[in-house]
Structure 1
Amino acid sequence: MPFLDLRGKRALITSGTRGAGAATVGLFQELGAQVLTTARTRPDAFPESLFVAADLTNPHGCAALAAAATERLGGVDIIVHMLGGSSAPPGGFEALSDEIWENELDLNLMPAVRLDRELVPAMVTRGSGVVIHVTSIQRVMPLPEATTAYAAAKAALSTYSKSLSKQVSPQGVRVVRVSPGWIETEASIDLATRLAAEHGGDIEAGKKMIMDSLGGIPIGRPARPVEVANLIAFLASDRAGSITGTEHVIDGGTVPTA
């Protein structure tokens, strides 16, 4: 028997078409789970059988996805909230209008709140289930110039997740958080490439600039998407049956305190 086995599990993974989300979808399939994922649009190469198009930044998109997951999977055993990001401009707190704050919360907090409200009650009724909220080390290491609203939204997600775990864990539903640092995704490589071009260096120099902005990464590199997926898969599996209410950092040692 393999160490990790998700056969017979029905998993909903948001934002699963790129980066760590795509790696998580692929690994869950490899481990035998029945998977459904979502984004605003389906990439051409992505199988329709795995996908529901939905905009999760509004209540209607979340409700539609929850209904589709219930109909197509017959229920959900695992929810992985991968969705997140930021489009806030630089400039610190003064650059953040009410609209920008609302956008950051609607992307990084409210989709999890709304989907959990739709899907977790059935888990409670069954007496089993796993909910994984992907937060960020930014919640404890915000970058004032660029990530204030994103970091605050992820901090709110972490607090919400802890509260949910205290409510539903006695009914058999585990709720955990995964807190990544810098992940080497397509978007982060694009950023490193742009930084390198702006400063006349190569891509490794661009990566070093990003790491330096975080105060350094002791292992000397960002996390790979599959490494984040590995942690999520373990926490979702029965191997982690006594783990709930906790936050698991995967940042190469970036956060300088325990």
Structure 2
Amino acid sequence: MSFDLQLNGQRALVTGGTKGLGAALVKSLRQAGVLVMTTARAIPEAPQEGVIYVEADLKTAEGVNALARAVKDHWGGVDILINCLGGSSAPAGGFAALDDAVWFDELNLNLMSAVRLDRALLPAMLAKGAGVVLHVTSIQRVLPIPESTTAYAAAKGALSTYSKSLSKEVTPKGVRVLRVSPGWIETEASVAFVERIAAQSGTDYAGGKQVVMDWLGGIPLGRPAKPHEVADLITFLVSPRAASVSGSEYVIDGGTVPTV
């Protein structure tokens, strides 16, 4: 059996592809022979070879429009669109700490960036009757942490529901729509977060990781996922090897979510 993913020469846009999961995904796709464009608010000092980088703030409609123009200028369109951008800068303190500005910031980053980009690039996919759209959601949509992730979790929940509806609409027209729902991924940002928790708790990095896992109710696997593990799953799902898969959400969380 060949493990060729049949992705060579495909054109993929990955949002948020300079750090964490996004950077791992760009690397995984390039190794599979994919032509990759990605975005960031600033071009990295050590860009990956052969990758097209576009500076854009996708929290804004103007940033999405600029990215869509760059895609059309370089390639005319894409075969694969992966909305990987996400995160949270909301303050701790529960619901009362979340004013309208925080809510709109979380929604623009985690929901509207994907909605706007799909709206800009999906018509070309539909015109040729082929393509793949993948949205990175989060287990936070079913396992929110009230102290700090309410708005982020709500935005990811909305992204998941939107993705399912989009799949029902466009899959019959040749465009697959998928979701991948990661749990805790050990990215640069999460490492810095754990280091802060460790310092506050008077422990080392391993102790800080245990504190975070306890907050999540435990991770049966005993550790967070590595970025490349999630990236490899996504790379398979957007490939022709997964051609019959659409509308589904794939959880990759080491068993964190305790329900079926």
Pick the TM interval, shorter chain: over 0.9
Unaligned runs of 5+ in 2: none
Distance 1:86 1:44 in 2: 24
Q: Deviations over 1:89-119 (max 9, x none)?
A: 1111111101110000010000100000000
Taking the TM superposition and a 5 Å limit, the aligned residue runs for 1:65-104 are 65-104=67-106
Q: Where has structure 1 moved over 6 Å in runs of 4 or more?
A: none
CA distance in 1 between counterparts of 2:246 and 2:51 reads 31
Give per-residue Cα distances to partners, 1:9-50, cap 9 Å, x unaligned: 100000000111000000100000000000100011115852
Could you say if the C-alpha distance between residues 71 and 102 of structure 1 is closer, same or farther in structure 2, counting changes exceeding 3 Å? same
How far, CA to CA, are the matches of 2:168 and 2:224 in structure 1? 32
Shift of 1:192: 1.2
The equivalent residue for 1:108 is 110
- Whole-angstrom distance in 1 between the partners of 2:71 and 2:105: 25
C-alpha separation in 2, matches of 1:35 and 1:2: 21
**Aligned partners of 2:35 and 2:51 also within 8 Å:** no
Alignment correspondent of 1:207: 209
* Per-residue deviation, residues 30-87 of structure 1 (Å, max 9, x unmatched): 0000000001000111158520000000101001101101211231000010100011
Q: Does 1:43 align with 2:44?
A: yes
Q: Which residue of 2 aligns with 1:181?
A: 183
The aligned residue for residue 10 of structure 1 is: 11
- C-alpha RMSD of the superposition: 1.0
Partner of 1:52: 54
Return the offset for 1:215: 0.3
The question of 1:217 aligning with 2:219 is answered yes
Deviation, 1:169, is 0.2
1:226 match = 228
Shift of 1:220: 0.1
State the match for 2:149 in structure 1.
147
**Which piece of structure 1 moves more, 69-78 or 231-240?**
69-78
Residues in 1 aligned to 2:225 and 2:38: alpha-carbon distance in whole angstroms = 22
Query: Shift of the alpha carbon at 1:2?
Result: 3.4
* Displacement of 1:3: 3.3
Identity of aligned residues (%): 62
Q: Which residue of 1 aligns with 2:169?
A: 167
Mapping of 1:114-129 within 5 angstroms?
114-129=116-131
* Aligned residue type for 1:36: M
- Who is 2:138 aligned against? 136
1:36 match: secondary structure: strand
SS in structure 2 at match of 1:109: helix
Q: Which residue of 2 aligns with 1:197?
A: 199
- Alignment correspondent of 2:158: 156
Q: Does 1:255 align with 2:247?
A: no
**Gapped regions of structure 1 (runs ≥ 5):** none
One-letter code aligned to 1:251: D
Q: Does the residue aligned with 2:148 lie in a helix, a strand or coil? A: coil
State the alpha-carbon separation in 2 of the partners of residues 99 and 123 from structure 1: 34
Match for residue 30 of structure 1?
A: 31
Hey, what's the Cα distance between the residues in 2 that align with 1:138 and 1:244?
22
Greater shift after overlay, 160-169 or 186-195? 186-195
Residue equivalent to 2:63:
61
Amino acid aligned to 2:59:
T
Counterpart amino acid of residue 172 in structure 1: G
TM-score by length of 2: 0.97
Q: Structure 1-normalised TM-score?
A: 0.98
Counterpart Cα distance in 2 of 1:151 and 1:195? 21
